[in-house]
A and B are shown apart, each in its own frame.
Chain A
Amino acid sequence: MAATLAPPRLLLSGDSAITVEFSRTIDDAANQRVLALDRTLAREPVAGVTETVPTYRSLLVHYDPLLIDFAALSEKLAVLGQLPVPASAKTRRWRIPVVYGGEYGIDLEDVAKTLNTTPDDIVARHVAGDYRVAMIGFTPGWSYLSGLQRSLHLPRRHNPRLLTPAGTISIGGVQTGVQCLAGPSGWHLLGQTAVRTYQLHRDPIFLLEPGDRVTFSAVDAKTFAEQDRAAERGEIVAELMAS
């Protein structure tokens, strides 16, 4: 018999959403449970649930209280949230090209210095990683990846930058990320990708899904420029690998 999983905490996010919390920390097992509950609700929709938002450690379930009330929905979610996590569902695997360092990743040198190594070594460690999209949030397409190797864990910058470039690849804390739109960030910028994780008038508009696997490959500036033009025309640029 499968061991019973600890019940999630059901937290009130106002009158029209419930936060189903599996952990208070970044925890891979908790993220697997979040994604599993998300898939369950997609496969077997509960009447009144309007939208779900997976994050590292919790699933935010938006609902219409005119169709289902808090008591009824939380009872259902408590049961569904304790189901054993099925053997990993088939996931997509992407390879995302990155131009590292220089003007594309202005913190690479400093990160190398802080970690007493060379920029090339930082790139090698980052490229060696096998990551998973733990959540997408903050701004459209901003994909937070888990699986950053311990030797690259660094506290966030003391002074967040108000503007960082579109396509930034960065590390912060125990995470790495693919940022789509230009915007503020407190993370360390390692490089830039031509891949747009969000692009209007392209099919699909959103490239990555929570749960997708991601690896990075290093490319030179010339390749980046070519890929950037192709991406601007609506090409996906990222490689979908055989899983």
Chain B
Amino acid sequence: MSKLVISAIGPSSSVQDGGRFGAQRYGLTPSGAMDRLGLAAANCLAGNAPFTAAIEIGPFGAAFTAREGAVRVALAGASRNADVAGRAVASDTSVTLADGETLKLGFARGGSFSYLAIEGGIAGEPMFGSMAVNARAGLGSPYPRPLQAGDELQVAAASGAAERRIDLPPPVQAPIRVVMGPQDDEFADDQKNLFLDSEWKISATSDRMGYRLEGPVIKHLHGHNIVSDGTVNGSIQVPGNGAPIVLVPDRGTSGGYPKIATVISADLGRFAQISAGTGFRFRAIGIAEAQAELRKFAGLLRTLPDRLRPIDNFDLNIEALREANVAGAAVNAVDAGTWQVASAADALTQD
């Protein structure tokens, strides 16, 4: 066994996997990764099953150190500046940390959450079939809470397998698709149109329970109290103040506000990655189209292993530089050594 030590980490970072299902009838929410494609891509690179427990890293920087042996990891989801001992590491690639080496990560760019998968997974005790952290319910392994600096994860020793990159479809800049309902009849047509025609922003007060939206006030037809009923990932409820809240994996299992629409499953990860303050729109589609999109998304997850490619060192450095968006005289494009990433401590201060 080796250890992966959390040398530095920001808030909203925790061990997550595919989530725990089957106990929503007892009020236990599934939790699990905010962006399932990011989780699956990282695991695929690390040679794991797609929904193996990995580290979900929030918007701030982080640093991870291998101890008592080498550790092979892979990074996917929101891209970041990353390096190991001065060697730049591109997103969507695997990398092996020699004993004592530290992987330093900068801020998330073009998203909110990145996933660090570890070859062989993380040792821990699943509850209800999952190691995902749900701090309020005291669940999650090896720590039933978000990760903190100094935490240690027991992991497998690196296999020495060749490093790989994964060739994912390019990011989509399109409206977040929703299916209207289940309580869209609690809203007049002009309010539904206002919801669909407006630009929205994610509030900075959002968390793993709900993303609060900033935009116009959505008015109810019959008041904002309904008799509580069940919620799903992506339920868009409209409380009394008219500011919609999109429920995400740590949501309450039931809620008493009318739900105007639901984000389609295929767009949940893309939605979760929208960073606070970024504008976006919704678009309503029919149930048949939503389910066809889900089948396509499931197909993408299933065929991720076909998208793995060997890494060519030269390609890797160019890719890392391109992603780091470091265009300037100080950087020699073919010498990654001249590109400085923030230190672990710098990475935790706001940009």
**Chain B positions near chain A (C-beta within 8 angstroms):** 21-28, 127, 136-139, 179-183, 226-235, 252-255, 259, 262-265, 287-288, 290-291, 293-295, 298
Q: Are A16 and B265 in contact (CB under 8 A)?
A: yes
Known: A12-B179, A17-B232, A24-B227. A52 touches B25 (CB 8 A): yes
A19 to B255, CA, bound (A): 13
Q: Which of A60-68, A99-107, A108-116, A123-131 interfaces with chain B?
A: A60-68
Smallest Cβ-Cβ distance to A52: which chain B residue: B25
Q: Are A139 and B252 in contact (CB under 8 A)?
A: yes
**Chain A positions near chain B (C-beta within 8 angstroms):** 11-17, 19, 21, 23-26, 38, 50-60, 62, 65-66, 69-70, 135-142, 144, 181, 183, 198, 200, 206, 210
A60 to B265, CA, bound (A): 16
A91 CB, nearest partner CB in chain B, Å: 16
A69 contact set on B, CB distance < 8 A: 288, 291
A236 to B24, CA, bound (A): 21
A138 contact set on B, CB distance < 8 A: 27, 228, 252-255
Smallest Cβ-Cβ distance to A181: which chain B residue: B136
Which 8 A-B pairs rank lowest in CB-CB distance, beginning with the nearest?
A60-B230, A137-B254, A14-B262, A11-B182, A15-B290, A12-B181, A53-B230, A206-B26
Other than the given A57-B229, A137-B253, 5 more pairs (CB < 8 A) read A11-B182, A12-B179, A13-B231, A24-B227, A137-B254
B231 contact set on A, CB distance < 8 A: 13, 60
Q: Are B136 and A183 in contact (CB under 8 A)?
A: yes
Q: Are A50 and B21 in contact (CB under 8 A)?
A: yes
20 inter-chain pairs at a CB distance below 8 angstroms, sorted by A residue, are: A12-B180, A14-B179, A14-B234, A14-B235, A14-B262, A14-B265, A15-B290, A16-B265, A19-B230, A21-B229, A25-B227, A51-B24, A52-B25, A56-B227, A57-B227, A66-B298, A69-B288, A140-B23, A183-B136, A200-B127
Smallest Cβ-Cβ distance to A25: which chain B residue: B227
A-B pairs with beta carbons under 8 A, tally: 140
A235 CB, nearest partner CB in chain B, Å: 18
A141 CB, nearest partner CB in chain B, Å: 6
A53 to B231, CA, bound (A): 9
A66 contact set on B, CB distance < 8 A: 294-295, 298
Q: Are A210 and B25 in contact (CB under 8 A)?
A: yes
B136 contact set on A, CB distance < 8 A: 139, 181, 183
B26 contact set on A, CB distance < 8 A: 136, 140-141, 198, 206
Q: Are B291 and A136 in contact (CB under 8 A)?
A: no
A232 to B227, CA, bound (A): 34
B263 contact set on A, CB distance < 8 A: 14
Known: A55-B254, A141-B27, A200-B138. A70 touches B291 (CB 8 A): yes
A10 to B264, CA, bound (A): 18
Q: Are A53 and B253 in contact (CB under 8 A)?
A: yes
B21 contact set on A, CB distance < 8 A: 50-51, 62
A136 contact set on B, CB distance < 8 A: 25-27
Q: Are A15 and B264 in contact (CB under 8 A)?
A: yes
Q: Are B27 and A139 in contact (CB under 8 A)?
A: yes
B139 contact set on A, CB distance < 8 A: 200
Q: Are A15 and B265 in contact (CB under 8 A)?
A: yes
Q: Are A58 and B294 in contact (CB under 8 A)?
A: no
Smallest Cβ-Cβ distance to B28: which chain A residue: A140
A13 to B264, CA, bound (A): 10
Q: Are A51 and B22 in contact (CB under 8 A)?
A: yes
Q: Are A13 and B262 in contact (CB under 8 A)?
A: yes
B186 CB, nearest partner CB in chain A, Å: 10
Q: Are B287 and A56 in contact (CB under 8 A)?
A: no
Known: A14-B234, A181-B137. A70 touches B228 (CB 8 A): no
B288 contact set on A, CB distance < 8 A: 69-70
A118 CB, nearest partner CB in chain B, Å: 31
B30 CB, nearest partner CB in chain A, Å: 9
Smallest Cβ-Cβ distance to A201: which chain B residue: B127
A172 CB, nearest partner CB in chain B, Å: 11
A52 to B137, CA, bound (A): 20
B291 contact set on A, CB distance < 8 A: 15, 65, 69-70
- 8 Å CB contact of A13 from B22, B235, B295: B235
Smallest Cβ-Cβ distance to A135: which chain B residue: B254
A19 to B158, CA, bound (A): 47
Smallest Cβ-Cβ distance to B264: which chain A residue: A15
